[in-house]
Structure 1
Amino acid sequence: MDKKKIVATVIVIGALVMLLVITFSKEDEQPASGFESHKVVAHAMGGINGYTYTNALEAFVANYAQGTRVFEVDLLLTTDDQLVGRYEWSGNMSKLLGQLDVLPANKQGVVLDYKEFMDSPILDIYSPIDVEKLLDLMQHYPDAYIVTDTKEIKPELINKQFTLLTEAAMQRDPALLDRIVPQIYNQTMLDEINKVHSFSEVLYTLYQSQDTDEQVIDFVKKTGVDITMPASRATKDFVKKLKKARARVYVHTVNEEDEIRELSRMGVDGFYTDFVTEDDLNNMRGLR
């Protein structure tokens, strides 16, 4: 065989090898589906008419109509141990939610009972939610997902919150639990929620965590959880290592397009946001 034929043969073999590598790589990288196919997480059900932190029923509906399918909801216990959508029991939150004239002075900045909470409209016109209304939304919108922000880190309160949530879902349709994504605040919380129910998706949120980057990465490798963190903690090196450990990476809370583009180029998969909808993100240029 002459030299030209040898060179040609080598080139052809090399091309076939490259084609096989590319083909197998594409097979390994299956298109995201379900929860993982969405990049926007509506913070506290998403903003509505310029307002944030409402966790209101109408905020869910408005953001769903604009293409958003994943909704973070803050869930707290009332004095009579009912789970409701509230960011915090503070006087400032009562003010933010326009409830200073709705609630008497001695009920502002304290934990409410269930009736007091449900009888207090948000900003005069929006509806507060409890677990049952949340599940109503999930059944009415069967492609929507809920990410929980339950705040508590004491084992007995974690157990109480997730027992209430799980039992309410089980009474309606156990399949609803496949669309509920708990956020955990430390590594031991994963064991606590698994005592109640083994959820198919779990997000380890780092805003309360004292873990180092390496401790987070080791936990991801051991458990398969995904990660969400403040945008300020999302460095290029940390995100790269998390991705190498096969975690999906989310950041919170971002509302500016330039910041979203920068984080996307860094490798971030999803964004908790008040005002950017899934439709907005799909139309945004310069994303990875």
Structure 2
Amino acid sequence: MVSFLPLVSILEGKILKKKCLGILLGIAGIGIVVALYDRVQMKERLERDLYPVQTVFQKAGLKPESEKRYTKAGRVAWTVHLDPDKLRKNGYQFPYDKREEDWLGRTYLPKETLEATLGQDLSHQGTEVGIQAKRTDLKKILAEKRLIAHAGGTMREAGFLSAYSNSLQALKQNYSLGHRMFEFDLNLTQDGRLAAVHDWESDAPTSQDWEQSKTQDVNNIQAQYTTLFWEDILKQMELNPDMIVVTDTKVKDRTQEEIEEQYRILAQAVEKMDPSLADRILVQLYKPEDYQMLEEMGTFKNYILTLYASEMKEEAIVKSLKDKPHILAVTLPQKDERLTDSLISQIHESNRLVFVHTVDGFATLSKILNRGIDGVYTNNLLSKDLELYQEVVDSQKSFDIEVYQK
């Protein structure tokens, strides 16, 4: 008698395998559908300029310590906190008014907020997120930003404004408010370090005394701010990859040797910390003769010729720019009698920008920009003031066209 048991076993095994294969294919199909759904959801948010926080931070080198805290090691360590209404980075604050969670619990924040926090540009191709350094063409940045925060910018507190503090608090507040270009006053301590201070109240202190002191506001002696050295400013540049610094080393009552020594100290600190920081530093020259000396140092690449301590006349100013391609701009006091339409025109013809100092009111800003001046040093003005000016200009153009058509 022939046994059919082996045949039955073979058939049952094939059926079982087909069932398993069907189940696996079903699971795989669900996985594909889920993955496609996830990509569609992410792409839709990216197209609305909402970016996944964890993905962005990972690409920026930040590691999650918890759901709300990310860190990054380096010469200057980063700590970023995710709050319900803002991102905080080492004391800087970046508020946002829009936040979404996807079906997997991932947090999405506005591209603008993430870019401000990281100091870098975000982009995407489909659902692939990209991150890259902002450009360092300082002339274009000067022309677009137009505002240089004078002495780190005004420190705003309830009841008063504190200008000229050159303090860490002023820098953090004004960067958080949108400034990206900062001028700092720099003076030598007794032992040869550059401290961020407009002038000393008496004799210059030692660097140790300055480090332990607190800079104060004459209008509110209870307000005390953290003092800075040039090296501290460079550390903040490391923390903020889009931060531009304009130096204001002092020349009044200084010998040429002391002036050159200040420039050397500037350069040595940059070379020691990170030579690439020089790409984001604008060194103020007080006389054209110092240009060659700085070029020979080989550290810095961009300069502003500032004329508040010079008596050069129009012809000499224009002539001094010849064969000095790394001078990007010329700056004068806003009420300087040399600031004529002719001088502005000739500086522009030499392919340089014109800045003035110090402008703190919207009315003055409007008049200055309307003359064709490219930008200003300011204590109080913010980017929203520039936006308002542009809105006024655009509105006026439309109004003029309508009147003309009537």
- For this structure pair, what is the TM-score category when the shorter chain's length is used for normalisation? 0.7 to 0.9
Match of 1:111 in 2: 204
User: Which residue in the other structure is 1:121 paired with?
Assistant: 214
Pair 1:250-2:250 in alignment? no
Q: For residue 264 of structure 1, give the secondary structure of its aligned residue in structure 2.
A: helix
| Secondary structure at 2:300 match in 1 | coil
SS at match of 1:129: coil
Quote the offset at 1:118 in angstroms.
1.3
Q: How much has 1:198 moved relative to structure 2? A: 5.0
**Residue of structure 1 in register with 2:239 after alignment:** 140
Match of 1:5 in 2: none
The answer for the alignment partner of 1:189 in structure 2 is 290
Q: Which residue of 1 aligns with 2:330?
A: 227
SS class of match (1:122): strand
Classify the secondary structure of the residue corresponding to 1:272. Answer: strand
C-alpha deviation, 1:85, in angstroms: 0.3
Distance in 1 between residues matched to 2:170 and 2:296, nearest whole Å: 32
Q: Any residues of structure 2 matched to 1:1-288 within 5 Å, and which?
A: 33-49=140-156, 50-90=161-201, 109-123=202-216, 124-152=223-251, 154-197=255-298, 199-224=300-325, 225=327, 226-233=329-336, 234-284=339-389, 285-286=391-392
Distance in structure 1 (CA, Å) of the matches to 2:317 and 2:177: 34
TM-score normalised by the chain length of structure 1? 0.78
| Structure 1 runs not aligned, ≥5 long | 1-29, 91-108
CA contact (8 A) 2:149 2:181 kept: yes
Cα drift, residue 31 of structure 1: 12
Aligned twin of 1:103: none
User: Does the residue aligned with 1:158 lie in a helix, a strand or coil?
Assistant: helix
Shift of 1:70: 0.5
Q: Which has the higher strand share?
A: 2
1:175-205 per-residue CA deviation (whole Å, 9 max, x = no partner) reads: 1011111111111121232232352221010
Structure 2 partner of 1:20: none
Between the aligned partners of 2:350 and 2:145, the Cα distance in structure 1 is: 20
The answer to whether the Cα contact below 8 Å between 2:362 and 2:385 also exists between their aligned partners in 1 is no
Note the alpha carbon deviations across 1:50-76, whole angstroms, 9 max, x for none. Answer: 011100011111111111110000111
SS class of match (2:343) = helix
What secondary structure is seen at the aligned counterpart in 2 of 1:33? helix
Indicate if the aligned counterparts of 1:57 and 1:129 stay in contact, CA closer than 8 A. Answer: yes
TM-score (norm 2): 0.56
For residue 208 of structure 1, give the secondary structure of its aligned residue in structure 2: coil
Aligned equivalent of 1:100: none
For residues 208 and 297 of structure 2, the distance between their equivalents in structure 1, rounded to whole angstroms, comes to 27
Aligned to 1:3: none
Report sequence identity in percent: 28
Change (3 A) 1:158 1:283: same
More RCO (CA 8 Å, sep 6+): 1
Offset from partner CA, 1:134-172 (integer Å, 9 cap, x none): 111100011011100001253322332222222221222
User: Larger Cα Rg: Structure 1 or Structure 2?
Assistant: 2
**Distance in 1 between residues matched to 2:363 and 2:343, nearest whole Å:** 20
Give the number of the structure whose residues are more often helix, by fraction.
Answer: 1
Once residues 248 and 393 of structure 2 are traced to their aligned partners in structure 1, the CA distance between those partners, rounded to angstroms, is: 27
Q: Distance in 1 between matches of 2:393 and 2:304?
A: 23
Cα distance in 1 for partners of 2:294, 2:256 equals 9
Q: In 2 relative to 1, CA 254–158 (structure 1 residues): closer, same or farther, beyond 3 Å?
A: same
Deviations 1:84-117 (A, max 9, x none): 1011123xxxxxxxxxxxxxxxxxx111110111
Is the contact made by 1:158 and 1:192 (CA closer than 8 Å) also made in structure 2? no
Structure 2 match to 1:95 = none
CA 1:72/1:112 → structure 2, altered by over 3 Å: closer, same or farther? same
* Partner-residue secondary structure (3-state), 1:134: helix
Q: Check the 8 A contact 1:70/1:146 in 2, yes or no.
A: yes
Report the 3-state secondary structure (helix = DSSP H, G, I; strand = E; otherwise coil) of the residue aligned with 2:270: helix
Q: After superposition, give the CA deviation of every residue in 1:183-228 in whole Å (9 maximum; x if it has no partner).
A: 1111112123223235222101010111101110111233132200
Deviations 1:10-56 (A, max 9, x none): xxxxxxxxxxxxxxxxxxxx996344432000111111120111000
Give the direction of change, closer, same or farther, for the CA distance of 1:199–1:282 in structure 2 (3 Å limit): farther
Give distance in 2, aligned partners of 1:156 and 1:196. Answer: 15
